[in-house]
Structures are given as structure tokens and as C-alpha cells.
């Protein structure tokens, strides 16, 4: 499947086959493509909590407005933002780069992030969003359907997943075999409403 086809065909599916089980190989393929998504300074500030435990999925569904896809999709991937990734041995993010590049970029990471909680969060959320899109397009190319979500109680999900204090959920991506097509698109705004040439007037 071409990338353009995956983009055009990907829809947010709410109804999944609850019996279908994704193989470990397929899950690995999804996540292997997720980690190819870009991050500022290459700090890879996403974490992927793959929830397959049925009892845990039921509890997460209960704090996600009862949405069925949380429990019925083959796998629930919670995209988690590691807010302090920039400070976790930053030299490792550039270990394979030439030394002059390392000498410039590794100190720059700390200069960019230290003491800037809003930047730390914003960058991590952007990173999770891009990785989620990689997952969804890869899933579509593999014959799976997906549903991105943020309709859940962030604090309760954090507790259920036992997230460290410096990690926060960004969104869910439910992945599986859809059993009901998405409703027709609600209506796309025309390009001339959303594309601005050079600057707002």
C-alpha cells in the first residue's frame, strides 16, 4: 500500500473484533515503525505502554467513558510522554554521531530544556503525536484499523499504568480488526480556509 493510500483510507474505527489476537510479530512491526518518528534533538521522548491484559483493559475502559474500543481492539497502545527524557543520559542519543556533532548537540539539549517545563511537555506531546501517526499508517498498511483517542481520565490512567511522576499519557491508539466501517467523513474544510500564504492578514 502506498503512503497516500494509507492516509486516504485510514479512519477512526470504533468497533473491533474482540476475538482477534495480534501476533507479537505484528506488534513488534508496529512499534519498530513508531520509533522511526522524529523527535527534537533525537531525545526519543515517547514511551509505548502496550496493554493486552484483559482485566487492566476493563479498568482503563471504565475511566475512558466506557468506550468499547479500549477493551475490544486487539491491542491498546498508550502513548506516554517522558517529560524528562532530555535529562536521561543525553549523550546516548548521539552516540553514533561524529564527535563534533556530539560535542555541539549534547550540551545544547540541556540548554534547550532545563527549567522549561512547558517546552518539555509540548515537545513530548508533539513527539507522541507523530509516533502515533506512524503507528496508524503502518497498521493500515498491514490490514489493521486504528482509533486514536484522548477521551479518558489522564490521572486515573496514570495510576492504573503506574506511570512515574515525570511521565504523562498523551493519547491512546487502539489497533485491531474493524468490524464496522467508520461513518462518512463529517466534512473537511476547504484548503482555502486552512492554508495561509506567508502570514495572516
DSSP 152-181: S-HHHHHHHHT--TTEEEEEEEEEE-BSSP
Task: Give the residue numbers spanning the domain of 159.
Answer: 3-194
Let me know if residue 200 belongs to a domain.
no
Amino acid 183: pLDDT: 87
- Residue 76, strand partner residues: 51, 174
Q: What is the CATH number of the domain that holds 99?
A: 3.40.109.10
Amino acid 138: pLDDT: 97
Let me know if residue 16 belongs to a domain.
yes
Torsion from C-alpha of 86, 92, 95, 98, nearest 10 degrees: 20
| DSSP output for 25-78 | HHHHHHHHHHTTS--GGG---EEEEEE--HHHHHHHHHTTTT-HHHHHSSEEEE
Let me know if residue 36 belongs to a domain.
yes
Residue 114, classified by CB atoms within 10 Å of its CB into exposed (0-12), middle (13-18) or buried (19+), is exposed
What's the number of domains the chain is made of? 1
Per-residue pLDDT tens listing for the chain (201 residues): 899 998 999 999 999 999 999 999 999 999 999 999 999 999 999 999 999 999 999 999 999 999 999 999 999 999 999 999 999 999 999 999 999 999 999 999 999 999 999 999 999 999 999 999 999 999 999 999 999 999 999 999 999 999 999 999 999 999 999 999 888 888 999 999 999 999 998
Amino acid 1: pLDDT: 81
Amino acid 5: pLDDT: 93
Let me know if residue 201 belongs to a domain.
no
Let me know if residue 40 belongs to a domain.
yes
Amino acid 76: pLDDT: 98
Let me know if residue 122 belongs to a domain.
yes
Write down the pTM of the prediction.
Answer: 0.94
Amino acid at each position: 500500500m502506498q503512503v497516500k493510500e494509507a492516509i486516504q483510507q485510514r479512519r477512526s474505527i470504533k468497533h473491533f473484533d474482540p476475538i482477534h489476537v495480534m501476533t507479537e510479530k505484528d506488534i513488534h512491526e508496529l512499534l519498530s515503525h513508531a520509533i522511526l518518528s522524529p523527535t527534537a534533538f533525537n531525545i526519543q521522548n515517547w514511551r509505548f505502554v502496550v496493554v493486552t491484559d484483559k482485566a487492566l483493559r476493563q479498568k482503563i475502559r471504565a475511566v475512558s467513558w466506557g468506550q468499547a474500543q479500549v477493551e475490544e481492539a486487539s491491542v491498546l497502545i498508550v502513548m506516554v510522554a517522558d517529560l524528562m527524557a532530555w535529562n536521561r543520559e543525553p549523550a546516548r542519543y548521539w552516540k553514533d554521531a561524529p564527535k563534533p556533532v556530539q560535542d555541539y548537540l549534547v550540551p545544547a539539549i540541556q540548554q534547550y530544556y532545563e527549567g522549561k517545563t512547558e517546552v518539555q511537555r509540548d515537545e513530548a506531546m508533539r513527539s507522541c503525536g507523530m509516533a502515533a501517526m506512524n503507528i496508524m499508517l503502518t497498521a493500515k498498511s498491514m490490514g489493521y484499523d486504528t482509533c486514536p483517542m484522548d477521551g479518558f481520565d489522564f490521572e486515573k490512567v496514570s495510576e492504573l499504568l503506574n506511570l512515574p511522576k515525570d511521565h504523562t499519557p498523551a493519547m491512546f491508539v487502539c489497533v485491531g480488526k474493524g468490524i464496522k466501517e467508520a461513518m462518512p467523513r463529517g466534512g473537511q474544510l476547504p484548503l482555502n480556509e486552512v492554508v495561509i500564504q506567508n502570514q495572516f492578514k
